[in-house]
C-alpha cells in the first residue's frame, strides 16, 4: 500500500471536510440515524477490509459515526438490512436474487422487498487454494477431498458446494472464517480452501507468503456446464500478477457485488454515501485493489435491484441514465 506524505494526508482530509461541508449545507440531517453500520463478512476476506474502509471513509467525509461489522456474508447482510438491523450491507448478485425471491437460506419465505442498491462494488471471483504438496491444482483434483468453504451462508458456501455437486465432484465441506480456514489448510485439517471474494484475497496472499501453494478456479469447460443453471455467473480470469505464486493467468468465474440499504434510509444520507464513495476513487484504491471496479460506469451491471432514491439522484446528476423501473 502506498504511504502518503503528511501534506497529502492533510490535503485529503481538507478535501473530505469540504465535501462534508457541502453535503451538510445542502441536506437536512434531521432524519439521519445517529450512527450507521455496514454488514461485511469474516475477517481475512476482502468484504471486511473493503467494507471497513468505505465505512470509515463515509464517516470521515459526512461527519457521522460509521463502522463495519463482521457477519456471515451476503446472505446474512441482505436479511440484516431488510429487517433494519444494519443501515447498509454488501451483497453478491446470487444471494441477492435469492433474497428478493423469498429464498434466502436465513429467512426462507420472506421476500426482501425493501432492499435498494447504493453503488457498484466489484466482481467476486470464486478462487481455490491448496498446498502444492497436496498435488491439488484443479477443480477436478478436489474429488473425495475435504474443503473449507468460508462462513455458513456466505457466497463461497452457497456457490462452491452447489457447483461441485453439479459437476459431479464429491467433497466434504467445512465452514469457518477466511483467516481460520487458511490456518486449517496449513495445519492439514482441510485439503483445500475454496473462497469467493475480490482479488487478491488477503488470506490467500498471507498463506502463499508462508507456504508453497496452488491457486486456481473453474475452467471454461466447467463454466459451460453450469452457466444455464447459474445465469448470474460470468466467465472471468485471475491474472498472474495478482498472486506471486501464480506462473500464469488462470480461468475463473465471478459475479458482481453491490452496496445496499433499506428503502426507508434517508435520501440525503444515501446520496452522501454514494457521492463519497463514487467521487473518491483514489481513497478507495488505497483501501483495496478490488476498488478498481468501484466506478460509476459499472452501475449498468445492476439489473435486479431498484436503486435507492438518493443513489439514483447522484447517478442521474452525473449523466447516467437509470431506467424508470430501476428507481424506487
Coil vs helix vs strand at 314: helix
**Between 4 and 30, the higher pLDDT residue:** 30
> Is residue 39 within 8 Å of residue 88, measured between CB atoms?
yes
For the cut 80, the answer to whether the pLDDT of residue 31 exceeds it is yes
Please classify residue 154 by burial: count the beta carbons closer than 10 Å to its beta carbon, then call 0-12 exposed, 13-18 middle and 19+ buried: buried
Who has greater pLDDT, 221 or 45?
221
Helix (H, G, I), strand (E, B) or coil at 30: coil
> Tens digit of pLDDT for each residue in 80-110?
999 999 999 999 999 999 999 999 988 999 9
CA atoms lying within 13 Å on the CB side of residue 321 = 1
Give 232 or 285, the one with higher predicted confidence. 285
- The x, y and z cell numbers of residue 57, run together, are 471513509
Global pTM value: 0.77
Question: What's the average model confidence in pLDDT over 124-153?
Answer: 96
* Tens digits of residue pLDDT in 15-25: 554 444 444 44
pLDDT exceeding 90 applies to what percent of the chain? 81
Say if residue 137 is exposed, middle or buried (CB neighbours under 10 Å; 0-12, 13-18, 19+): middle
User: pLDDT tens digits, residue range 241-257?
Assistant: 999 999 999 999 999 99
Name the band, by pLDDT with cuts 50, 70 and 90, for residue 26: low
Average pLDDT of the segment spanning 271-290: 97
Q: Provide the pLDDT for residue 103.
A: 93
Whether the predicted pLDDT of 6 surpasses 80: no
- Cell 464513495: give the residue: 277
DSSP code string of 105-136: SSSTT---TTEEEEEEEEEEEEEEEEEGGGT-
Cell of residue 313, nine digits: 439522484
The answer to whether residue 27 scores a pLDDT higher than 70 is no
Q: Is the pLDDT of residue 144 over 70?
A: yes
Over residues 21-43, the mean pLDDT reads 80
- As given in the structure block, the three cell numbers for residue 31 are 432524519
Per-residue model confidence as pLDDT tens digits over 109-126: 999 999 999 999 999 899
136: left (phi over 0), alpha (psi -120 to 50) or beta: beta
Q: What is the structure's pLDDT at 18?
A: 47
Average pLDDT, the chain: 91
E-strand ranges in 24-114 read 35-39, 65-69, 88-92
Amino acid at each position: 500500500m502506498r504511504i502518503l506524505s503528511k501534506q497529502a494526508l492533510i490535503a485529503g482530509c481538507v478535501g473530505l471536510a469540504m465535501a462534508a461541508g457541502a453535503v451538510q449545507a445542502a441536506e437536512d440531517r434531521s432524519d439521519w440515524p445517529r450512527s450507521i453500520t455496514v454488514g461485511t463478512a469474516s475477517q481475512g476476506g476482502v468484504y471486511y477490509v473493503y467494507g471497513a474502509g468505505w465505512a470509515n471513509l463515509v464517516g470521515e467525509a459526512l461527519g457521522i459515526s460509521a463502522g463495519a461489522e463482521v457477519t456471515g456474508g451476503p446472505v446474512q447482510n441482505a436479511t440484516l438490512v431488510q429487517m433494519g438491523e444494519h443501515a447498509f450491507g454488501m451483497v453478491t448478485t446470487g444471494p441477492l436474487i435469492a433474497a428478493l425471491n423469498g429464498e434466502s437460506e436465513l429467512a426462507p419465505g420472506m421476500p426482501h422487498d425493501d432492499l435498494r442498491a447504493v453503488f457498484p462494488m466489484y466482481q467476486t471471483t470464486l478462487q481455490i487454494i491448496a498446498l502444492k504438496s497436496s498435488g491439488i491444482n484443479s477443480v477436478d483434483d478436489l474429488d473425495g477431498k475435504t474443503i473449507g468453504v468460508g462462513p455458513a451462508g456466505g457466497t463461497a458456501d452457497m456457490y462452491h458446494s452447489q457447483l461441485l455437486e453439479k459437476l459431479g465432484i464429491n467433497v466434504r465441506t467445512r465452514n469457518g472464517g477466511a483467516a481460520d480456514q487458511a490456518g486449517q489448510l496449513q495445519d492439514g485439517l482441510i485439503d483445500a480452501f475454496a473462497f469467493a471474494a475480490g482479488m487478491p484475497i488477503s488470506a490467500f496472499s498471507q498463506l502463499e507468503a508462508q507456504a508453497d501453494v496452488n491457486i486456481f478456479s473453474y475452467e471454461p469447460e466447467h463454466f459451460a456446464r453450469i452457466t444455464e443453471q447459474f445465469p448470474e455467473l460470468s466467465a472471468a480470469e485471475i491474472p498472474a500478477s495478482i498472486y506471486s505464486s501464480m506462473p500464469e493467468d488462470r480461468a475463473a468465474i465471478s459475479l458482481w457485488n453491490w452496496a445496499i440499504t433499506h428503502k426507508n434510509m434517508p435520501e440525503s444520507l444515501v446520496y452522501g454515501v454514494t457521492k463519497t464513495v463514487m467521487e473518491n476513487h483514489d481513497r478507495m484504491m488505497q483501501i483495496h485493489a478490488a476498488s478498481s471496479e468501484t466506478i460509476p460506469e459499472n452501475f449498468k451491471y445492476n439489473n435486479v435491484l431498484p436503486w435507492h432514491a438518493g443513489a439514483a439522484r447522484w447517478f442521474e446528476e452525473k449523466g447516467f441514465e437509470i431506467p424508470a423501473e430501476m428507481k424506487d
